């Protein structure tokens, strides 16, 4: 039985030397499956490397775009689709900033469905 994937994570690639001379400094890379993706961050730039990992995971995620029951669609997926391919707002239409969300809605926002009965 194959091992379960650990998911995307940061890995510190150690410094590399050839004939006693430093050829590459230690850098952070994103390890995802069998691939390594450069972050461009040095060993001491941990916060920047974490931000690159966060952006990588967000870019990698794509909500399911198929016909399904409204009760099963998470609100976060609806907003993600709206922000990426949604309608263009004009000066007469409301913007996302004008939409108010009730208090407590952000607690489990990603797990909420569009319709509740």
Question: Which range marks the domain in which residue 51 is found?
Answer: 9-60
What confidence score (pLDDT) does residue 106 get? 45
8 Å CB contact between 114 and 73:
yes
Last residue in a domain, options 60, 80, 101: 60
Residue 53 belongs to some domain of the structure: yes
What confidence score (pLDDT) does residue 51 get? 96
What's the total number of domains in the chain? 2
Phi-psi region of 104 (alpha: psi -120 to 50; beta: other; left: phi over 0): left
Q: Report, as an integer, the average pLDDT of 75-87.
A: 75
Q: Which residue has the higher pLDDT, 24 or 79?
A: 24
Distance, CA of 111 to CA of 1 (rounded, Å)? 31
**Residues 40 and 21 both lie in one domain:** yes
Residue 1 belongs to some domain of the structure: no
Residue 14 belongs to some domain of the structure: yes
Residue 3 belongs to some domain of the structure: no
Listed range (32-36, 42-46, 78-82, 113-117) with the worst mean pLDDT: 113-117
Distance, CA of 54 to CA of 42 (rounded, Å)? 17
Confidence of residue 30 (pLDDT cuts 50, 70, 90): very high
């Amino acid at each position: 039985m194959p091992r379960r994937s650990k998911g995307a994570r940061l890995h510190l690639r150690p410094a590399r030397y050839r004939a006693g001379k430093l050829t590459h400094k230690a850098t952070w890379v994103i390890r995802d499956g069998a691939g390594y993706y450069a972050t461009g961050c040095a060993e001491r730039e941990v916060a920047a490397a974490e931000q690159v990992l966060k952006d990588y995971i967000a870019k990698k995620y794509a909500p399911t775009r198929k016909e399904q029951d409204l009760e099963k669609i998470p609100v976060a997926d609806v907003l993600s689709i709206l922000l990426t391919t949604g309608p263009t707002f004009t000066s007469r239409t409301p913007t996302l900033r004008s939409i108010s969300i009730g208090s407590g809605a952000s607690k489990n926002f990603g797990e909420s469905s569009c319709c509740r009965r």
